[in-house]
Amino acid sequence: MSRLHMRANDAKNSAQNAHSEPITRTTGPNTFGVLNRIPTQYESYQIGVHEAQGMRPTMEDTHAFIVDFDSVRGQGYFGVFDGHGNKCVSEWCGQEFHKIFLNCIHKNPQLNGLDVLKKSFLEADEELGKMSERSDELADSGSTAVVAFLRIEDADGSQNFPQTDLSEHNKLKLPPKDARRVFYCGNVGDARGVMCRNGTATRLTHDHKPSDSDEQARIRGAGGIVLRGRVFGTLAVSRSLGDHMRYESLKLKDLVIGTPYLSRTELKENDEFCVIACDGLWDVMSDQEAVDLVRNIDDAEEASRTLVNYALKNDSMISRDNVTVMVIRFTNSSPSSHMKTSNH
């Protein structure tokens, strides 16, 4: 397809394209609570995002990030959502998932980060189910998701940090430079998170595919069928948000569940950056290839753009999908860490 044809399709289908909040920049360092706003200086990490519609007739990817998330300096929320069926679920996730996550943090202070993230996925999926009862368009829509949360904490896991007043109503917690940094990541479907640790790619997520033996057994045990590596021969992922439609007497949601895979990483100095992206990238390059391609690119925005351009222009294999890539490059990481992963 020519670029001219692609642009014509973009205009024709613009109403069907998923909308992400535009990325803006501040005139100062403070960004907390504002979706997709990049600060003028980096305390804990820098963020870069690039996306492309590619050869698809519509854009169904969305993304979201919040710097200084939950009013803690250096914290961050990051999400990439890859829609299917139509844009409804991915667009909703890009605009609403962080609100559900923040609400879960505040309402469940006794839960650890993994449990809060899991609860957020399940609550988001439950809310989508309720809305789908009133909308056939929403019921026909679903989305893969990869969500990450960089949490800043004391050695005991608390956040007893001093505060500064930025305005009459806004307070920002200021952790010490040696505070612990914990990177939580969760996903459903084949959207993926990959950490670069001392040059080596470490996957933080799990691809939920119907061809996976455990997923296939779960689907068949719930009364579903896997044909040609797809649920009922149509859906290419085995977990998602949304997809609340019915197949005769079966609820698709009973088969394509919203329970995420979860990981927890305490950052150390050799944790350099993380790439979170939809399958438009991972279908054409391996985890290690992605890390190798951008490891020496200091600017996170340039790194994300480089990965998207590679996916669309690679001579050996070109992505025909929407492509969204987010790069989080860490700074001043703490030297002591270990990593735990759990599959729920």
Q: What is the domain partition of the chain in residue ranges?
A: 3-343
In three-state secondary structure terms, 342 is strand
For the cut 60, the answer to whether the pLDDT of residue 3 exceeds it is no
User: So what's the pLDDT on residue 47?
Assistant: 96
> Considering only 22-31, 92-101, 112-121, 205-214, which range has the smallest mean pLDDT?
22-31
User: So what's the pLDDT on residue 57?
Assistant: 93
Residue 45 CA to residue 23 CA, distance in Å, equals: 17
The pLDDT confidence band at residue 148, using thresholds 50, 70 and 90, is very high
- Region 214-236 average pLDDT: 94
> Considering only 147-156, 175-184, 307-316, which range has the smallest mean pLDDT?
307-316
For the cut 70, the answer to whether the pLDDT of residue 1 exceeds it is no
Q: 71: closest CA among 97, 103, 122, 34?
A: 34
For the cut 80, the answer to whether the pLDDT of residue 66 exceeds it is yes
The pLDDT confidence band at residue 156, using thresholds 50, 70 and 90, is confident
- Region 216-230 average pLDDT: 95
Residue 157 phi, psi dihedral angles, 5° rounding: 90, -5
If DSSP states are collapsed to H, E and C, what string results for 155-216? Answer: CCCCCCCCEEECCCCCEEECCCCCCEEEEEEEEECCCEEEEEECCEEEECCCCCCCCCHHHH
Q: 325: closest CA among 292, 301, 299?
A: 301
Residue 308 CA to residue 323 CA, distance in Å, equals: 6
pLDDT tens for 47-62 read 999 999 999 999 999 9
Say which residue the tokens 């202070």 belong to: 109
What is the CATH superfamily name and number for domain 3-343?
Answer: PPM-type phosphatase domain (3.60.40.10)
Write the DSSP assignment of 95-163 as a string of letters: HHHHHHHHHHHHH-TTS-HHHHHHHHHHHHHHHHHHHHTT-HHHHT-EEEEEEEEEEEE-TTS-----E
The pLDDT confidence band at residue 169, using thresholds 50, 70 and 90, is low
- Look up residue 330 and give its two tokens: 């860490």
The pLDDT confidence band at residue 260, using thresholds 50, 70 and 90, is very high
For the cut 70, the answer to whether the pLDDT of residue 298 exceeds it is yes
- Look up residue 158 and give its two tokens: 């608390």
If DSSP states are collapsed to H, E and C, what string results for 284-313? Answer: CCCHHHHHHHHCCCCCHHHHHHHHHHHHHH
How far is CA 325 from its chain centroid? 9
- The β-bridge partners of 180 are 153
Query: What radius of gyration, in Å, describes the C-alpha atoms of the chain?
Result: 20
Task: Kindly report the average pLDDT of the chain as a whole number.
Answer: 89
User: So what's the pLDDT on residue 241?
Assistant: 99
The pLDDT confidence band at residue 317, using thresholds 50, 70 and 90, is confident
User: So what's the pLDDT on residue 338?
Assistant: 33
Residue 231 contacts residue 213 (beta carbons within 8 Å) = no
Residues 192/101/21/73 CA torsion (nearest 10 deg): -90
For the chain, give the percent of residues with pLDDT over 70: 91
User: So what's the pLDDT on residue 316?
Assistant: 74
The pLDDT confidence band at residue 261, using thresholds 50, 70 and 90, is very high
250 burial level (CB within 10 Å; 0-12, 13-18, 19+) = middle
- Region 75-85 average pLDDT: 97
Higher pLDDT among residues 248 and 334, named by residue:
248
User: So what's the pLDDT on residue 320?
Assistant: 86
For the cut 60, the answer to whether the pLDDT of residue 10 exceeds it is no
Higher pLDDT among residues 56 and 338, named by residue:
56
57's CB contacts (< 8 A; 6+ apart) are: 9, 13, 16
State the pairing for strand pair 323-330/45-52. antiparallel
Residue 47 CA to residue 79 CA, distance in Å, equals: 12
- Look up residue 132 and give its two tokens: 């789908």
User: So what's the pLDDT on residue 340?
Assistant: 42
For the cut 80, the answer to whether the pLDDT of residue 116 exceeds it is yes
